[in-house]
Amino acid sequence: MKTIFVKAFSEFPGPRYRNLGPSSGQEFREEILIPAIKQYGAHKLIINLDGTCGYGSSFLEEAFGGLLRDRVVTPEEASVLVGNLVSEEDPSLVDEIREYIADESTRGS
């Protein structure tokens, strides 16, 4: 299993899109998540959300919901990925990402 620490990407996760500011959800998805999924597979990734100074919902939606919109992962793979999310500091983050994945799966089907 490969663990990705979001805090290694940025302690201050930013806005939704790159053009809105640094450390965006889009940047995290394109630079970190997609390469890792391609290298290790969605089922072998653990994403640790702890250690940052807080998340905006746009970052979370774009980073994780965007995986389904871009068809990087299937809804099943996305569910596995969400199952491997770690957030000791704020468990509501995992629930929120789960909702974005579910919304995007419903929209896509």
Partner 1 sequence: MNPQGDLEGVVEACSDPHWTTIAEFVMRWVVALGGWGVAFFLWKLRRDQAKRIADHVEVNKAIDSALEQIEKFETSVLEFWSDPQSKILSEQLASHMAACAFYSSQIKNLCPVREYPSKELLDVRRTATMNMEQESRGLDSQKNRLGRFVKLVAKLRKADIYQKRPFTG
List interacting residues with partner 1 (CB under 8 A): 12-17, 20-21, 52-58, 61, 89-93, 95-96, 99
Minimum Å gap between C-beta 89 and partner 1 is 6
Of 89, 84, 108, the residue nearest 97 (C-alpha) = 84
Minimum Å gap between C-beta 70 and partner 1 is 19
What would you report as the CA-atom Rg of the chain, rounded to the nearest whole angstrom? Answer: 12
Minimum Å gap between C-beta 102 and partner 1 is 13
DSSP reduced 3-state for 47 = strand
The residue (of 70 and 89) whose beta carbon lies closer to partner 1 is 89
71 phi-psi bin (left φ>0, alpha ψ -120 to 50, beta other) = left
